[in-house]
Structure 1
Amino acid sequence: MRDDAHFVARSARGLEPQLAAEILQRELGSITAVGHRSVHFRAWRPYDTGVTGLRTADDVFLLAARGRDVGTRKSGVPGLTELASKTDSARLIQHRNTLLGNTVKPPGLEVSASFLGRRSFNRYDVEDAVGNALAARLKVPYHPRRTKGAPPPDYASWRLTLDGTEATLMLRITPRPLHRRPYKQATVRGTLHPPLAAAMTRLADIGRGHTVLDPCCGAGTVLIEAALAHPEAGQYRGYDIDETALKAASANKRMAAAVRIHLERADAGRLPLPDGTVDRIVCNPPWGTQVEAKARMAKAPAAWWRELHRLLTPTGTAVLLLPTPTPLLPALQAGLLPTHTQRIHLSGTPTYLIKLEPGNPR
């Protein structure tokens, strides 16, 4: 593997700018391309294990090969095997093992494929074509997802994407995707995608001594991501009216060893905190899409926005995830001014990342 190793980090659609910013802030390399759910970068230090610590990435790969997208017809699928022939598979595996501090050669491989647009073939056709070609080069078994489901955990994971213009073949560095956080053992309905939670905390610009609040904390994902990335903050406080959610948050907090997070049962519409004492609010509030609002938040949604305004310091910031921009009218009436609006997609569903700062209520 050359010293100018090329990596590809994948993200949720719409979070590519946050991912690129994190790569640059961590001084991991130079951005060479930003595409659909992907950020390509050339490493400054090819064996820097920081690439596996990207919080806003769903996954991170070593770039293996790129070629022309084969089009929409199944007859073009065999042409993808050219990617395997262009790949220095053994060197890529060696580089992956060095990054992981591992010397064991993977006993087999699997391929996961995705493509944009309608095609006359399916993902398994693509996976089998490339997987069998790679397996022949590496002289190891290929595990077809079409017939055998999930692969053994010690198999090398390859990824192939077709974006309508280019075909990209990559090798995953870590044994499992980065978005599967080890701490997240307990979940609840509507639980937040960890890389998205990490992106929200980055947008909030949490600083030294800040009091950070999630008034609808659920399984604690936002607070844990914030606490892990910003240990310099003063305190982290999470509230939820659902006991099941608080139990999940407590379990995840223990797994993350995030002991500085204070969790408590309370109504998000009336929190037991003094006026103007919160520097940052980061939250995925329940608006009925996956989780129903309860108590005061359900009875008087507009009052919740006034509660956020009451809690924030004059220089405070709130970063929220909303299904539509519609709730911004009561937010404006409560004196919260939007300073950043960003559309993202989760599992194909659009949602909005909103940053607000306090002004004067109308």
Structure 2
Amino acid sequence: MHTPLVARCLRGLEAVVAAEVLGSGLGAVTELRHREVHFRTHRSVPALRTADDLFLLAARRPDIGPTRQALHNLAELADQTAIDHLLSLRRHSATTPAPDITGIDVSASFLGRRTFTRYDAEDVVGQALARRLRVPYHSRRAGTPPPPGCWGWRLTLDGARATLMLRLDDRPLHRRAYKQRTIPGTLHPPLAAAMARLADIRPGHVVLDPCCGAGTLLIEAALAHPDAHCHGFDLSADAVAAACVNAGDLPVAIRCSDAGRLPLPDHSVDRVLCNPPWGAQVRARGLLATAPSRWWTELRRVLAPDGTAVLLLPDPGHLAAAIRHHFTPVHVERLRLFGAQPFLVRLAPAPGAGRVTATQPRGRATSDRR
């Protein structure tokens, strides 16, 4: 039997999630929509690291439009849902044993201007589902988290149709168990996983994050590629401590250093993954505070001629700076990330450009594992 599933993701990562579904042999992708990848799988526990969350498809109908007069029509989604079959799929597909359902909650989102709120839509669907399931409905209107035992449902309205889904597991996929400590500017784990996937890391590659923060990028890279050599540096002692706790026993070497003067030999790094401190949430410190261009010259120095850098850049100006410093963009994607619209960029050293060198000894970086 092929189970219809919906992976939710950041806007702009739909193709990356679809590639993970296909590359992992999870099943056939049937549709890409706004922040959604629809696919069918014959496997019981599909694990997706680039998706924010994973749902069983429950029901669909045409979007009700922008006015609240049609809100009551959303109750049809609850009526169309094959409740017993869906709950059975959820119990057998979850990665952890599903507790008995003691209540439900609904989280809604929509595109475009509406004369109703997300809470209005949630309440219509939630109350209809609660009647069918004969369990209490927990409204999110008051801002309180749902109590234990509540099964999470998701409602989306994208202008063309309304879709109702049931979360496959008790917690969203983006909540990683390793994330014990956070710091300002810490990266969204599914985005970090997507960046590691775009980097095309191979066995034995040296992977660098020169501004590693809480270590999310390197941890996702190490989880996907345990045979790579991952190095992280940060000037903040708090960031290094957080990254060490989060990394645990993973093969990741994390040290304190200035990204403007990395303790690595020339051309010794195969892959760079980084969300540089451009000032949106974290301001540059050390050498980068007075000479931001040093970030690019140092990146150029340590990256191998056939290397790749996957970066999160806040605006086109930073992409232009990469080109000025002899990098060639080979992939550019605009994302929507918590109100911002950064660029996800894959860069390669421009062929034929002069190489930046320093006094460090030449050769490859060693594994130097913690």
Q: Same fold (TM over 0.5)?
A: yes
Instruction: Give the aligned partner of residue 74 of structure 1.
Output: 68
Matched, 1:216 2:214: no
CA contact (8 A) 2:29 2:39 kept: yes
Q: Secondary structure at the match of 1:178?
A: coil
Matched, 1:305 2:301: no
CA contact (8 A) 1:186 1:251 kept: yes
CA contact (8 A) 1:332 1:361 kept: no
Q: How many residues align?
A: 352
After superposition, what is the alpha-carbon deviation per residue over 1:224-267, rounded to whole angstroms, capped at 9, x for unaligned?
0000011121x11000001111111111112xx31x10010000
Q: How far 1:325 moved relative to its partner? A: 2.1
Q: Which runs of 5+ in 2 are unaligned?
A: 356-370
CA contact (8 A) 2:7 2:53 kept: yes
Q: How far 1:103 moved relative to its partner? A: 6.0
Instruction: Give the aligned partner of residue 6 of structure 1.
Output: 4
Instruction: Give the aligned partner of residue 87 of structure 2.
Output: 93
After superposition, what is the alpha-carbon deviation per residue over 1:183-238, rounded to whole angstroms, capped at 9, x for unaligned?
112111111000000110011000010000000000000000000011121x1100
CA contact (8 A) 2:186 2:214 kept: yes
After superposition, what is the alpha-carbon deviation per residue over 1:48-107, rounded to whole angstroms, capped at 9, x for unaligned?
21x2x2000000000000001111111111100001000011221111111125364211
Instruction: Give the aligned partner of residue 44 of structure 2.
Output: 48
Matched, 1:270 2:265: no
C-alpha distance in 2, partners of 1:274/1:290?
Answer: 30
TM-score (norm 1): 0.95
Q: Which 4+ residue blocks in structure 1 deviate beyond 3 angstroms?
A: none
Matched, 1:204 2:199: yes
Change in 2 beyond 3 A, CA 1:104/1:243: closer
Instruction: Give the aligned partner of residue 236 of structure 1.
Output: 230
C-alpha distance in 2, partners of 1:293/1:97?
Answer: 47
Instruction: Give the aligned partner of residue 113 of structure 1.
Output: 108
C-alpha distance in 2, partners of 1:215/1:171?
Answer: 39
C-alpha distance in 1, partners of 2:298/2:142?
Answer: 53
Q: How far 1:8 moved relative to its partner? A: 0.3
Q: Secondary structure at the match of 1:64?
A: strand
Higher helix share: 1
TM-score (norm 2): 0.93
CA contact (8 A) 2:153 2:165 kept: yes
Q: How does 1:253-292 map to 2 (within 5 A)?
A: 253-254=247-248, 257-258=249-250, 260-292=251-283
Letter of the 2:18 partner, please give it.
A
CA contact (8 A) 2:313 2:319 kept: no
Root-mean-square deviation (CA, aligned residues, Å) is 1.3
Q: Which moved more, 1:173-182 or 1:139-148?
A: 139-148
Change in 2 beyond 3 A, CA 1:348/1:103: closer
CA contact (8 A) 1:198 1:226 kept: yes
CA contact (8 A) 1:106 1:154 kept: yes
Matched, 1:17 2:15: yes
Letter of the 1:349 partner, please give it.
A
CA contact (8 A) 1:161 1:169 kept: yes
